[in-house]
Structures are given as C-alpha cells and as structure tokens.
Amino acid sequence: MPANSEITRDNLVFRLSLLTRRCRQIIDHEFHDAGLTEATWRPLLHLHILGDQSKQKDLATSVGIEGATLVRLIDTLVEKGLIQRTEDTSDRRKNLISLTQAGQVTVDRLRKIIDPLQQDLLSDFSDKDIAAIGKFIYTLESKVSTFWQQARG
C-alpha cells in the first residue's frame, strides 16, 4: 500500500468516492463486454432492487438522475421492451415502472456477470465484516440524503 493509504475522517469520503468510481468502471467494463450499456443496466438493476410497480420518482432517486432525464431513459427502455410504464391507480398523475419478461431476462444476464465479480471482490470479508460495512453505508447514505435534500432546498 502507498504511504498515504491510511483512511481517516479527513479523507474517508474522498476515498469512498474513488472506490465507487473504480467499482463502477469495473462493472461498466464487464457489462460493456457483454454488449450492455450503462443506460440499460443501471435503471434495470435499480428497478430489480426496488421491485416491480416502483414509482418513477423513486427510480430516479435510486439511479441518481433528474426526473426529466429518467423520462427519456424510460421511453427508450419501453421501446426496447425491457420495462413497462403503468398509471398509478391511486394517483393518476404518477407512473409505476416494472420489468417486462425481456427486462427480467436482461437482469438475469446482468446478475450472471455481477454476482461472481461481487463474490470475488468481497471474498476477503466475513459476514460480520459485511454487516458492519452495511450498517456504516446505510447510516452514511441516510446522512448524505438528508444533506442533499437540505442543500437543494
């Protein structure tokens, strides 16, 4: 490890951002080799995690993009037959998003790529380590979300 490898409160968020970027580059590379673009895999995996009949707004938040950008992306994925958009019966102004059968097949294909990669990357960590990291991430995500909401007014 380099001399400046110590992780402290002063550099933790910066180091996490570098780690996140590097992990995303690895995933992008693996999916690109399988012919899958980021515009396809990111919303599909987020929708898979959120579950069917997810609100469009929740999907935008999860993916980390503005609503208007997501609308265009959803239009493209609907045209490709990977997702479907339905009206929310409890509020007709809102849309619910679900994977189609073809979308689920694509997610299954994504999982076949990412699951072994994830197992390899996490192989040096115990279940206890993962639980502790998970708690840390959940808490930090909550703080970041609150900060972001306050910053946006």
pLDDT in tens, 54-96: 998 889 888 888 888 888 999 999 999 999 999 888 888 888 9
Structure tokens at 85: 């958009």
The whole model's pTM is what?
0.79
Centre a 10 Å sphere on the Cβ of residue 110 and count the other Cβ atoms it contains: 20
> What does the block give as tokens for 49?
């995690």
Residue 108 has pLDDT above 80, yes or no: yes
Q: What is the reported pLDDT for 2?
A: 55
